[in-house]
Structure 1
Amino acid sequence: MSDAKPSQRLERRFAALKAEGRAGLVTFITAGDPDLETGYEILKGLPDAGADVIELGIAFTDPMADGPAIQAAGLRALKAGITLRKTLGLVEKFRKQDGDTPIILMGYFNNIYAYGVDSFLADAVAAGVDGLIIVDLPPEEDEELCLPALKAGLNFIRLATPTTDDARLPAVLANTSGFVYYVSITGITGAGSAQSTDVEAAVARLRRHTDLPIAVGFGIKTRDQAAEIARAADAAVVGSAIVSRIAGNLSGNGAANPGLVDDVLSMVRDLADGVRDARR
């Protein structure tokens, strides 16, 4: 395992956002949804549509933290033949046209454990991955993946939640890098929306504990909601709403309708406009 410095794309992107005086838009899609070709076309188009950071979901059969929309996306991707190796291949393909937009892989440890931690980390770095969000590995298990990931040169982004109290936060933040992902609601993805006043208070509390950028997600569905979050946080994260838009553009047999990619990217542009207008 190398002693590489973590990827600098996230650091550069958040520094650029700060210089522009605005928050960023983080978009989530599941790799290979609804099929490998269409999924890649969406991925490829996200930066021009306004995504500042991309979270790429690793499809998994038992996504315990995810709601129905992302669960369904994972099942579509698995049915279409996605694997973790093919997910890394999508990132490698993306990197041939975009060397600047950070890509974070988000998922569960099972896939990585089955792949082999050392092999996965080496292949992820080679493909151009910038960081990991692995939702089922607590800080007590940092030696399993977090510390090896940091050593290999990947950021490890940790989740903080409304139930993460001040006594727990130091452990959560100890080996976190890149940014902190604040989950604004309790429960699964897509379950509801947080009140902006609650988010403001939570972000202020996190800032007392860390200098890392703070991204807020779970429950952001509209341009106005993204703008509200962007006024308080360093980035707004949108996932279930985008994945639901993909699902809404499928035919009865699950195939992608001709206008799917354009419609999804149009939605991302609208969200990005909301984020960009938030502090004007």
Structure 2
Amino acid sequence: MTTRLEKRFATLKQEGRAAFVTFITAGDPDFDTTLGILNGLPKAGADVIELGMPFTDPMADGPSIQASSQRALRNGASMKRTLELVRRFRENDPETPIVLMGYYNPIYHMGVETFLGRAIEAGVDGLIVVDLPPEEDDELCLPALKAGLNFIRLATPTTDDKRLPAVLANTSGFVYYVSITGITGAASPQAQDVASSVKRIKGHTSLPVAVGFGIRTPEQAAEIARAADGAVVGSAIVDAIAREVGEDGKIKVGAIARVLEFVSKLADGVHAARAAAAE
């Protein structure tokens, strides 16, 4: 059975353009604001949505996403409410793929079987769990694949040709290439380096390769879109949300529209770049 994620990347390939993949943290800064942004992302140009599962110790994430998790948790975010966000989103959008991204602890706490059942019921399409290596595929990856979810793995600049086959073995949906070493939002990727790395990964897999970490402007997103099957923007969008939180911790009036306007500019960069490359 073809998943929503696989259908979306296949359609984009036919259209000759890269995917614009957005990341926001569930419940940041509160449930209603997340839902408003989530509902507006497809119209703003998002082709795939990554929804962060808030966690107290997001070790691979930089200050921006760490802070977004803390804001969300302070306002009652939980795995149950994260899945409720997906369920509410699906009431109006049956097509845009949603990938939950984060760490294994909240999933383990809920119980793998319970989590997978509830995730599928809510309308989740895939998982990115950054702290489960291929050696632990029996823990979550294989049960997720069996249940019908895509399991997306991260490859990095330090993932050499010897390690890559293990990383790709049970990966599905797409490969997420982390274009820089270190934490999220720490630096900007170099398009030339990204292009050669994407080419190397594609020598090992037929899956689409989306590139993330460090993309902050429409121009950077456009550069990455020329080199990959998708450009992922997270910290820059999370920062745009953070700027809309007042000193009292509450969201400012008109915040959702301003965040989505920023997302739309990023989307224009991604989509125009690949369209130009295809001409």
Select the residue among 52, 55, 61 that pairs with 1:60.
Answer: 55
Aligned partners of 1:85 and 1:248: how far apart in 2?
A: 27
The aligned residue for residue 131 of structure 2 is 136
For 1:130, the aligned partner's letter is D
- Cα shift readout 1:7-29 (whole Å, capped 9, x = no counterpart): 61011101111111100100000
**Alignment partners' CA distance in 1, 2:199 and 2:16:** 18
CA shift at 1:164, angstroms? Answer: 0.1
Deviation string, structure 1 residues 51-98 (Cα, Å, up to 9, x no partner): 000000000000000000000000000011011011001101111100
Match of 2:157 among 156, 159, 162: 162
Amino acid at match of 1:9: R
Aligned twin of 1:195: 190
Q: CA deviation at 1:254?
A: 1.5
Which residue in 1 is equivalent to 2:67? 72
3-state SS of paired residue (1:278)? helix
* Counterparts of 1:217 and 1:276, CA distance in 2: 16
Measured in 2, the distance between the counterparts of 1:154 and 1:8 equals 8
Whether 1:252 aligns to 2:247 is yes
Distance 2:10 2:171 in 1: 17
Structure 2: distance between partners of 1:277 and 1:88: 33
Where 1:56 maps in the other structure, the secondary structure is strand
Give the alignment's TM-score, normalised by structure 2: 0.98
Aligned to 2:142: 147
Structure 1 residue 182 and structure 2 residue 174: aligned?
Answer: no
Q: Does 1:219 align with 2:247?
A: no
How many Å apart are 1:102 and its aligned residue?
0.1
Separation (CA, whole Å) in 1 of partners of 2:245 and 2:28? 11
Determine what percentage of the aligned residue pairs are the same residue: 68
User: Which letter does structure 1 place at the counterpart of 2:89?
Assistant: F
Q: Which runs of 4+ in 1 moved over 4 A?
A: none
Aligned counterparts of 2:7 and 2:259: Cα–Cα separation in 1: 27
Q: Residue 113 of structure 1 corresponds to which residue in structure 2?
A: 108
The aligned amino acid for 2:35 is Y
Query: SS state of the match for residue 28, structure 2?
Result: coil
2:203 aligned residue: 208
1:88 lines up with 2:83 in the alignment: yes
For structure 1, the 5+ residue unaligned runs are none
The residue aligned with 1:44 is 39
The separation in 2 between residues aligned to 1:197 and 1:49, in whole angstroms, is: 28
Paired residues, what number?
Answer: 275
SS at the partner of 2:183?
A: coil
Provide the rounded CA distance (Å) in 1 between the counterparts of 2:246 and 2:116: 37
Aligned: 1:18 with 2:44: no
* CA-CA distance at 1:250 after TM superposition: 1.2
5+ residue gaps, structure 2, are none
> What letter matches 2:185 in structure 1?
G
The letter for the 2-side match of 1:245 is A
